[in-house]
Amino acid sequence: MPKNYTYTDAGVNRQQRVESKKALKNLQETYKYSLFAGVKHLPYGNIFPIDENSFLDLVIEGVGTKVLIAQLAQKYDTIGEDAVAMAVNDVIRSGAKPLAIADNIHAQESNPQLVRDWLKGIIQGAVESECPVTSGETGDVSEIINGIVQNAGFDMVVASVGQVWRQEIITGENIKPGDPIIGLASSGLHSNGITLARKILFKQWGGKFEPNDVPEGLEREVVLEALEPTKIYVKPLLKLAKEVKIKAAVHITGDAYTKFNNLTATSPGIGFEFTNFKPHPIFALIQKTAAELGYIISDEEMFKTFNMGWGFGIIVDKMDIDKAMNTLQRDNAKPEMIGKVTDRKTVEIEYKNKRMKLT
């Protein structure tokens, strides 16, 4: 009988991560050192004041095990774009404009060609974000970092700092049932759920395919499909913020659609209903391949792990939806209505003529 296969089975224990994150509350002891009125808590992080009307949003992010796919492909010129995207897409959730980027790469060996390739992706991400790379570090730590390709192991982390004026902060407050949720398309897997995807798709980790295989449903090698860089949403989000009041901005990354539950901290009593999905072929391939390997990855697990076609979610007042859609369309952001806020205090998904609740 096929076995249910989850992110925990792949090696990422969600419940353990939830318990571990409880330790982050201890950081509040440091907030007393903030210069002015203290740290402002938002649904997806905190911002801190630099004067009475201006705040900074500082984010540090990595690309996790997607670096292993870059090694498998022996293609290193896009992974830096992923790292920048993960940081700047988080910064803009507060309404902040990214001001600077810093990178940190720990490597088995800082081979000059590898460094050039890594930086090519970082530069591409910085250009797309309209944000300078002001500092960084590359460390040779061969005793710590190993790789599936000799002397090509590395880990990549990017930090970004952004600024937002007090009156422009996206707080997550005053979200009401009936408010529409706008989706901005993803480019594919992005940089989340990669551990599960790797272990189903690639023979290297117990899956089915060789890197250069082109499975049915894909138009290019599976390794290149998985390596497609994370989309950057800085320009459309910041342009929209000048036109309408954004109630919430959600970067659909780890924990996928369950991330919307964070908004109940600032707008209690709400829930979310999603009814419009256009997942890329690689998502169906993951489920189909899992079944061929004797596993079942449920639809619920897919929506708790992957972006399923939408990389960013935006909530506005229902009175502002036409203006918001027109603004995003003019910027060629290709927005679509993907759902709405409800009063049912849960995340509901309608997909393939089936309704499910994510817990």
Choose among 100, 91, 269, 98: nearest CA to 176: 269
CA gap 359, 339 in Å, rounded: 18
296 SS3 class:
strand
Phi then psi dihedrals of residue 196, to 5 deg: -70, -45
Per-residue tens of pLDDT for the chain, all 359 residues: 678 888 888 888 878 887 887 877 777 778 777 777 678 889 999 999 999 899 999 999 999 999 999 999 999 999 999 999 999 999 999 999 999 999 999 999 999 999 999 999 999 999 999 999 999 999 999 989 988 888 889 999 999 999 999 999 999 999 999 999 999 999 999 999 999 999 999 999 999 999 999 999 999 999 999 999 999 999 999 999 999 999 999 999 989 999 999 999 999 999 999 999 999 999 999 999 999 999 999 999 999 999 999 999 999 999 999 999 999 999 888 899 999 999 999 999 999 999 999 98
Tell me how crowded residue 39 is: count the other CB atoms within 10 A of its CB: 18
Q: Are strands 154-165 and 335-342 parallel, antiparallel or unpaired?
A: unpaired
Which residue, chain included where needed, has tokens 């007042």? 317
Which residues have C-beta within 8 Å of that of residue 47, sequence separation ≥ 6? 39, 40, 55, 56, 57, 94, 96, 164, 169
Phi then psi dihedrals of residue 225, to 5 deg: -65, -45
- Under 8 Å between Cβ of 191 and 64: yes
- Under 8 Å between Cβ of 169 and 39: no
Domains of the chain listed by start with CATH number: 34-168 (3.30.1330.10), 180-358 (3.90.650.10)
User: What pTM value is reported for the model?
Assistant: 0.94
CA gap 164, 51 in Å, rounded: 11
For residue 68 the two structure tokens come to: 């292993």
